A and B are shown apart, each in its own frame.
Chain A
Amino acid sequence: MAHRKKNRNVGVIGVGQTKHSSHREDVTQPEMVHEAVREALEDAGLTMKDVDCIVHGNMELFEMIHQPDLWHELGTGAYGKNAFRLTTGGTTGATLFCAGDNLVASGMYDVALVIGFEKLQEGHTTGGITNMADPLWFRSLQTGALTGTCAYDVIQEFGEERATRAAMMYRIIMDQNACLNPKAHRAFGLEWDQMDHLIKTSAKLIGELKIIDMCSQSDGACAVIMACEEKAKALSDKPVWVRDHITVHREETINILGYDQATKEKMTHRFAAEQLFKRNGITNPVEYFDVFEMYDPSSWWGVDWLREFFLLEGDEHLKLVEEKEIAIEGKIPVNPSGGVIASNPIGATALVRPAEACLQVRGDAGAHQIPRPVNHALASGFGGTLWTVLILLEKELGW
């Protein structure tokens, strides 16, 4: 499969987010988007005059506004500029980031403003998600993003006690991170001594997936400004460089729920990680990366995908959780922002991942900043029937 070298390097020079929440009744969609745009412009020290193109996206149908980028012109600054709209389901935010990268790397645009948003309170999220399925068959059967299959997998492999404890440990670490992030939506202040109680009492949604495990539904927007190497160096003293990214989608009917190890399909996460790391000469991802902002829609998936993304085997990933190596002070911090379980404005979520990773590289994350130099960052997006987008960010050029 051909994968050429970029025409020129691209750096992130501005990041903006709204405080993700569940009750933004005080703003319309363009007003909410504008908050993130304004913050990104202020962060970059730019005005709309400096921006050449806008890339806008969210998950189609959630708010039942067709082509929202037109209405949002009231808040995105797209008036009179080249503007693109993308929507790829849950991976939208990450795809927007990749598109911004591609557009600027191509040489056609010098500065791109990438905007992801979602106002989930305005629609019915799970109902909307079921619209992804084939209307002739699966749509009436599907349970949306809620599935107990991952919990089942992990429990089958490691036993109920170890598996549930690992998932809950992961959850608590994420919540502790969220409490340090002023932009996070849900930060409960969970304590370690609540673990057993939560495992016993949290209501089940489907299978063993409990309400405490599942990501929230948030209203929020995120904006990222990307510039070509020359402009990035001129406009910012700490641009974060986009080294590489990969997008791996899977087809709906290649089933993975036969529970037959002999014919088990490789997950898109592992496939993406293998390809991306190989072509960038990364042989030991856990050692190489200083932070991983992973799109973790539930604590079960969060735990399971550590193994897939870091190309681990056996129970190495459980150990990373059990020994708290994924906490902010740990060996490989995962989601210092609190991740998707804390804040999930779906169209923005996958964009918040590289945005937060950039803040970490710059040292600007505030209270949830990793207390060590962050030179190499990884960010992932997730959506649909297990689609993966994986993004590689670097502090310095010359990799």
Chain B
Amino acid sequence: MSEKFGVKVEDIFNTMQERFRPEGAAGVDASFGYDIPGRGKWRLTVKDGTMKIEQADDLSGCVAVTRADPDTFVGVNIGKVDGTAAFTSGKISVEGDVGAVSTTFKLFKRFTPPKKELTVGEYILDMFGTLESRFQPQAAEGLDITIGYDIGGREGGRWTARIKDGKCTVKEGLALSPNLTMIVKAKDWVDLMLGEVDAMTLLSTGRAKVEGDMNLAVKLGELFAKYKAPGEEAEEGQQLLVLKKVISVGQRFATGPVMGKYLNGLKEKKILANKCPECGRTQVPPREICALCRVRCEEWVEVGPKGNVRLVDTAYYASPDPLSGETRETPYGLCYILLDGCKGQEVFAHFIRDDQLERIEMGWNEKKGTIVRPVWAEKRTGRVSDIKYFEIDE
């Protein structure tokens, strides 16, 4: 008689050795008993980072004995039944040291019922064969991009997805200059699509590489629906709802007289700073008070417009600007510039012209970095974008 989920109690115990995680056994030295009425009793012995599982009639000496009916036992082990709930409601009971039982949870990888397995090559063909049909046009509004997939290994291949005007066409082969290329071995790609490994793990450990616009990589999850293996039965589990929304709240910010004067200065292509009467520090953008001396700063000076670059922080990953909801194209350079008239740490933050990023030299102590000048926007309204960016002064 097989259990409700198509998995037998014996399967759980017979696979314990292969699911064992020795690192989870660090510090564990005990025997644990399992009593499944109608199926039998098992004894799990853990010692020195190794384990032994055997059927046993006698469970004496076990630090704890877990008792559960076969369906609950299997259900909890395959993640279909909530263990805590089963325990709380008495469907699982523990005789002995309850705390000790929780140490057994990290001993094993979760049991996954054997499913009809395709080969890696078959999965790859099916995944890319269904890519077009899984395209989500509503997530691709305004997009005109090419994504390259460079799947390595014997079972791999190369594909390009072209997304434009809300449509997606997938062809074999790699386009010349895709906006984004995913480079990953076939087995890793299959595991990723099946949810057996997550993208962050692959990227962080170098098993997957992303070339091009990293921001697009983040969007991939929305552009295509989740892959479902052929013939996969409807999940018996419960659907977990997620509500996704972009929350956009209108805001109005009062400038006050100090930032107001500064922002108005930008309209006239002037960068204004104010000075502390006690320590002589210039503040740009200006602040009403010098935080160090706690006094009002009422003396204004014009600084720059040129300066030398002290640091360029080149960003390869951009986050959305909450003021506009948009995300900057990468790579871009956020830089800190010591404008003429400022000294020491009194730096000014802005962007460097995208195509000049590599040519910028950074300053250090008395050594000056590349001299740059602001490039002003045609129409200036008193915002940070009145300066488009800084470029090399040549």
Q: Do chains A and B touch in the complex (CB under 8 A)?
A: yes
Q: Which residues of B contact A143 (CB under 8 A)?
A: 313, 315, 318-319, 334
* Those of B240-274 within 8 Å (CB) of chain A: 240, 242, 247, 251, 253, 255, 259, 263
* Those of A179-211 within 8 Å (CB) of chain B: 179-180, 182, 186, 188-190, 194, 197-198, 200-207, 211
* Those of B361-392 within 8 Å (CB) of chain A: 362-365, 384-385
Contact B205 A212 (CB under 8 A): yes
With A256-B345, A259-B362, A264-B345 already in contact, the answer to whether A130 and B321 are too (CB < 8 A) is yes
Q: Which of B62-70, B122-130, B195-203 is found at the contact surface with chain A?
A: B195-203
Q: Which residues of B contact A369 (CB under 8 A)?
A: 27
Shortest Cβ distance from residue B7 to the other chain A in the assembled complex, whole angstroms: 21
Decide if B83 is an interface residue (CB 8 Å cutoff). Answer: no
CA distance A180 to B247 in the complex (A): 39
CA distance A190 to B201 in the complex (A): 11
Shortest Cβ distance from residue B114 to the other chain A in the assembled complex, whole angstroms: 24
Contact A263 B343 (CB under 8 A): yes
Shortest Cβ distance from residue A74 to the other chain B in the assembled complex, whole angstroms: 17
Closest to B241 in A: A25
CA distance A256 to B350 in the complex (A): 15
Decide if B24 is an interface residue (CB 8 Å cutoff). Answer: yes
Contact A259 B313 (CB under 8 A): no
Cross-interface CB contact of A131 among B24, B322, B334, B350, cutoff 8 Å: B322
Q: Which residues of A contact B203 (CB under 8 A)?
A: 202-203, 211
Contact B384 A141 (CB under 8 A): yes
* Those of A128-179 within 8 Å (CB) of chain B: 128-131, 134-144, 146-149, 152, 156, 179
Q: Which of B148-156, B165-173, B283-291 is found at the contact surface with chain A?
A: B283-291
Closest to B382 in A: A136
Decide if B23 is an interface residue (CB 8 Å cutoff). Answer: yes
The SS class assigned to the A binding surface is: loop
CA distance A212 to B259 in the complex (A): 39
CA distance A366 to B338 in the complex (A): 51
Q: Which residues of B contact A260 (CB under 8 A)?
A: 310, 343-345, 365
Shortest Cβ distance from residue A259 to the other chain B in the assembled complex, whole angstroms: 5
Decide if A237 is an interface residue (CB 8 Å cutoff). Answer: no
Cross-interface CB contact of B26 among A180, A200, A206, cutoff 8 Å: A180
Decide if A275 is an interface residue (CB 8 Å cutoff). Answer: no
Shortest Cβ distance from residue A37 to the other chain B in the assembled complex, whole angstroms: 14
User: 0/1 per residue, B332-361, Cβ < 8 Å to A?
Assistant: 001010100001111101110000000000
Contact A141 B351 (CB under 8 A): yes
Decide if A124 is an interface residue (CB 8 Å cutoff). Answer: yes
Contact A124 B345 (CB under 8 A): no
Q: Which residues of A contact B201 (CB under 8 A)?
A: 186, 188
Shortest Cβ distance from residue B123 to the other chain A in the assembled complex, whole angstroms: 22
With A253-B287, A258-B336 already in contact, the answer to whether A205 and B317 are too (CB < 8 A) is yes
- Counting contact residues on chain B (CB < 8 A from A), the size range is 35 or more
The SS class assigned to the B binding surface is: mixed
Decide if A287 is an interface residue (CB 8 Å cutoff). Answer: no
Decide if A313 is an interface residue (CB 8 Å cutoff). Answer: no
Decide if A316 is an interface residue (CB 8 Å cutoff). Answer: no
Decide if A397 is an interface residue (CB 8 Å cutoff). Answer: no
Contact A202 B204 (CB under 8 A): yes
Contact B336 A127 (CB under 8 A): no
Q: Which residues of A contact B255 (CB under 8 A)?
A: 136
Contact B310 A258 (CB under 8 A): yes
Q: Which residues of A contact B365 (CB under 8 A)?
A: 259-262
Contact A205 B362 (CB under 8 A): no
* Those of B105-137 within 8 Å (CB) of chain A: 105-106
A-B contact count (CB 8 A): 165
Q: Which residues of B contact A194 (CB under 8 A)?
A: 205-206
Contact A126 B345 (CB under 8 A): no
Contact B285 A137 (CB under 8 A): yes
Contact A25 B240 (CB under 8 A): yes
Q: Which residues of A contact B362 (CB under 8 A)?
A: 152, 259
Q: Which residues of A contact B27 (CB under 8 A)?
A: 366-367, 369
Decide if B292 is an interface residue (CB 8 Å cutoff). Answer: yes
Cross-interface CB contact of B364 among A144, A156, A198, A202, cutoff 8 Å: A156
With A25-B240, A127-B320 already in contact, the answer to whether A201 and B206 are too (CB < 8 A) is yes
Q: Which residues of A contact B214 (CB under 8 A)?
A: 203
Contact B24 A182 (CB under 8 A): yes
Q: Which residues of B contact A7 (CB under 8 A)?
A: none
Decide if B5 is an interface residue (CB 8 Å cutoff). Answer: no
Decide if B87 is an interface residue (CB 8 Å cutoff). Answer: no
Q: Which residues of B contact A141 (CB under 8 A)?
A: 334, 349-351, 384
Contact B253 A262 (CB under 8 A): no
Decide if B41 is an interface residue (CB 8 Å cutoff). Answer: no
Decide if B323 is an interface residue (CB 8 Å cutoff). Answer: yes
CA distance A156 to B200 in the complex (A): 29
Cross-interface CB contact of B317 among A124, A146, A179, cutoff 8 Å: A146
Closest to A35 in B: B84
Contact B319 A201 (CB under 8 A): no
Contact A206 B349 (CB under 8 A): no
With A137-B259, A137-B384, A201-B206 already in contact, the answer to whether A255 and B347 are too (CB < 8 A) is yes
Decide if A380 is an interface residue (CB 8 Å cutoff). Answer: no
Contact A139 B323 (CB under 8 A): yes
Decide if B314 is an interface residue (CB 8 Å cutoff). Answer: yes
CA distance A130 to B323 in the complex (A): 10
With A22-B198, A265-B345 already in contact, the answer to whether A188 and B205 are too (CB < 8 A) is yes
Closest to A138 in B: B349
Closest to A264 in B: B345
CA distance A126 to B26 in the complex (A): 36
Shortest Cβ distance from residue B313 to the other chain A in the assembled complex, whole angstroms: 5
CA distance A189 to B204 in the complex (A): 12
Contact A254 B345 (CB under 8 A): yes
Contact A26 B349 (CB under 8 A): no
The list of the 5 closest CB pairs from A to B, nearest first, reads A263-B344, A126-B319, A201-B206, A258-B345, A251-B291
* A–B Cβ pairs within 8 angstroms, 10 of them: A137-B384, A140-B321, A146-B315, A188-B204, A205-B317, A207-B314, A211-B204, A259-B310, A259-B363, A263-B345
**What would 16 more interface pairs be, CB under 8 Å, given A64-B247, A188-B204, A205-B317?**
A124-B319, A127-B322, A130-B322, A136-B285, A137-B384, A138-B384, A140-B384, A149-B313, A188-B201, A188-B205, A190-B205, A197-B206, A206-B316, A253-B291, A258-B336, A259-B363
List the interface of chain A (C-beta within 8 A of B). 22, 25-26, 64, 124, 126-131, 134-144, 146-149, 152, 156, 179-180, 182, 186, 188-190, 194, 197-198, 200-207, 211-212, 216, 251, 253-265, 366-367, 369
List the interface of chain B (C-beta within 8 A of A). 23-24, 26-27, 105-106, 198, 200-201, 203-206, 209-210, 214, 240, 242, 247, 251, 253, 255, 259, 263, 283, 285, 287, 291-292, 310-311, 313-324, 334, 336, 338, 343-347, 349-351, 362-365, 384-385
